[in-house]
Structure formats: structure tokens, C-alpha cells
Amino acid sequence: MSKIFSEVRGEGTPVILLHGFPMNHSVWKIFATTLAQKYKVYTPDLPGFGQSQLLSPLTLDTVAVRLTQWFTENKINKAVLIGHSLGGYVALAMVEKNPQLFSGLGLFHSTALADTAEKKESRTKTVEFINKNGVLAFTSNFIQGLFADPNHTAIASVKDITVKSAEETVIAYTLAMRDRPDRQQVLKSFEHPILLLGGEKDQGIPSESLRSQAQNCHLPDLHILPEVAHMGMFESPGETTEIVSRFIDRCSQRF
């Protein structure tokens, strides 16, 4: 069984923060430290990133199964599960298989939709680019476009995280994201609160798409942030922390 590394902070309602691509748990460091003043916050490395071992074969479903095993191994109960970007795709797959384990689901700059044909082609080209030029040529130039401000002070520190990702891992997850299914049915069937947090300036996840998805949820909590693209934990840390904190309280009050 592959090893899952995780940091744990604080006490209280359990909260799991799943990082995006191609990052690791440390991208949540400041955000998780703030939340840990009120909650017990887990920040695992997805398999293959950081200190967690890569899975083979790797699909979003196999990642979800392994993360759910880690969840039960650590006796975590009724957690609020929040995923950033790729982490949201994994979170959806986890909730799809075991909705009873979670008290809330958060899509933090993420979506339940499958890739469009254009996006699938882009991911295929990414793999071709990496095979030709090496992973560093991709990971060292990937981050700036995720911020609304191309000169944001957090870009350098996030880039330091992404350039540590192994080529095998980056390729495997690029293909896994390309081939993931539409999971809007999870939004329709999950009976607990669902957070949809997006940025008005996110080029990859249009705000109108999130508004449409929110209509499918039993208990939606929709927030579209102006002047924010794909990295709200850095672009608007105070507001995103407050939004997530209120969401966690909403989820915990139902139990």
C-alpha cells in the first residue's frame, strides 16, 4: 500500500485540504495554520507529490480510493473535505464512492465538469511538451498564469513547490485529469453543504459554470471573488479563510 504523508494542525471539527496540480501539501501552509486556530486541519500530499508515494495505475479513482483508505486509517469521521483544483476532482471522486464519510464538500477553484475537447487536447499537448523538453520546463512556467496579478508576491514561493514535482507524477496526473468523467451527479446527490468558490478572473473555470453547478446542489454555498483567478488562498487570503471557516461551521452544525 502506498504511503500517504500528511501534516495535522489544531483541534476540533476535522477538515481535509487537498492541494492542486502540480503542488503538494505545503501550498496550504499559511491557510491551514489560520484555520487550525479553530479546527483540526489535515493537509495530505496526493500520491506522487511531496512525500506520498505514486500509485500505479494512477487515475483519479485510484487516488480517491487510496485517500479514503488513509481517511479511515486515521479514524477521521465526518470531515469537511475541500479540494483545490485537482484536489477538488479527487474530492468529488471520494464523495461519489463514500458520501457518508463527509459532512461537507468544498470545490476551491475546482469543478465537477469533465474537460472540454479543447482542454483534453491541451493536456495531451502538455504531455508531449514534457516528453520533449522535460518537466522543469513546464512546472517552472506554469504558476504565473494562475494568478490575476502576474507580479503577485506569492508566485515565487508556489513555483518553488511545483518545480519539485517528478516528471512521472506530472504526466500521470495530466492524463488522469484529461480522462476524468463528469461528476455533476455528485453535486445533485450529496445531501450536505457544498462550497463552490471561484475567481472572476479564472481563465480555466468560468464563474458562470460555477453558478450553473450551484443550482444542482441541495445546499449550495457559492462565492465568486472579483480580482481573483485560480489561487484564492494567496490572492485573497482573508476573505477565503473567512468563507471556508463559515462553511465548516455550517457543516458541523448539522451533526
User: Which of 76, 28, 25 shows the shortest CA–CA distance to 47?
Assistant: 25
In a domain, 171, yes or no: no
200 within a domain of the structure (yes/no): yes
Cell numbers for 144, please give them: 504565473
Give the per-residue pLDDT at 101. Answer: 96
In a domain, 11, yes or no: yes
Question: What pLDDT is recorded for position 1?
Answer: 60
Q: 213, 112 in Cβ contact below 8 A?
A: yes
pLDDT at residue number 109: 98
In a domain, 232, yes or no: yes
Residue 164 lies inside a defined structural domain of this protein: no
For residue 23, the domain's CATH number is 3.40.50.1820
User: Facing residues of 220 across strands?
Assistant: 194
Query: pLDDT averaged over consecutive 10-residue blocks of the chain (255 residues)?
Result: 90 98 98 98 98 96 97 93 98 97 98 97 98 96 95 97 97 98 98 98 96 97 98 98 98 80
In a domain, 92, yes or no: yes
Number of folded domains that form the chain: 1
CA distance 21 to 219: 27
Question: Structural domain of residue 65, as residue ranges?
Answer: 6-114+181-252
Q: Are strands 14-18 and 40-44 parallel, antiparallel or unpaired?
A: parallel
64 domain-assigned: yes
The per-residue pLDDT for 253 is 84
In a domain, residue 141? The reply is no
Strand, coil or helix: what is 169?
Answer: helix
